[in-house]
Amino acid sequence: MNAKKLKNVLYTIAFPLAVYAVMELLCFCVRDRHVLSSMLDVQTIIRDTGSSAMIAFGLSLNLSSGRYDLSLGAQRLAGTIIGGVLALQLGLSGIWFLVFALLFGLLFGFLTGLAFVITRVPPMVLGVGIGLVWECFPYKISQGKGLNLFGVTGMEVINNTSFTIAVVIIVAAFIYILSNMTKFGYQMKAIQGSQLISQNSGINIFRHAVICYTLAGGLVCLAGMIDTVFTTQLTSSLGLASSGPINKNMFPMMLGGFIGIWTNQSIGVIVASLCVNLLSYGLITLELSEANSSVVNSVLFVLFLVFLANRYVLKNKRMEQERIALAKKRRRELAEMTAGACIW
With binding defined as CB under 8 A, does residue 8 bind other proteins? no
With binding defined as CB under 8 A, does residue 110 bind other proteins? no
With binding defined as CB under 8 A, does residue 295 bind other proteins? yes
Closest by CA to 117, choosing from 214, 201, 43, is: 214
In the complex, what is the shortest distance from the CB of residue 266 to other proteins, in angstroms, rounded to a whole number?
Answer: 22
- State the virtual CA torsion across 74, 70, 166, 297 in degrees, nearest 10: -110
Contact 217, 131 (CB under 8 A): no
| Residue (67 or 76) nearer to other proteins, CB | 67
| Residue (299 or 324) nearer to other proteins, CB | 299
Contact 213, 112 (CB under 8 A): yes
| Residue (102 or 209) nearer to other proteins, CB | 209
| Options 6-14, 17-25, 32-40, 167-175: segment touching other proteins (CB under 8 A) | 32-40
**72: Cβ–Cβ under 8 A, 6 or more apart, which residues?**
58, 59, 127, 216, 217, 220, 243, 246
Measured between alpha carbons, how far is 167 from 222 in angstroms, rounded to an integer? 9
Closest by CA to 220, choosing from 332, 79, 322, 328, is: 79
Measured between alpha carbons, how far is 179 from 103 in angstroms, rounded to an integer? 22
Contact 286, 26 (CB under 8 A): yes
Q: Mark out the alpha helices in 32-145 (DSSP H runs).
A: 39-63, 72-89, 95-119, 123-141
Measured between alpha carbons, how far is 252 from 300 in angstroms, rounded to an integer? 12
| Options 8-16, 76-84, 304-312, 320-328: segment touching other proteins (CB under 8 A) | 304-312
Residues 53-92 that bind other proteins (CB under 8 A): 65-68
| Options 4-12, 140-148, 164-172, 180-188: segment touching other proteins (CB under 8 A) | 140-148
Residues 181-240 that bind other proteins (CB under 8 A): 195-196, 199, 205-206, 209, 229-233, 235-240
With binding defined as CB under 8 A, does residue 115 bind other proteins? yes
With binding defined as CB under 8 A, does residue 42 bind other proteins? no
With binding defined as CB under 8 A, does residue 305 bind other proteins? yes
| Options 78-86, 92-100, 301-309, 327-335: segment touching other proteins (CB under 8 A) | 301-309
With binding defined as CB under 8 A, does residue 32 bind other proteins? no
| Options 110-118, 173-181, 268-276, 324-332: segment touching other proteins (CB under 8 A) | 110-118
In the complex, what is the shortest distance from the CB of residue 120 to other proteins, in angstroms, rounded to a whole number?
Answer: 5
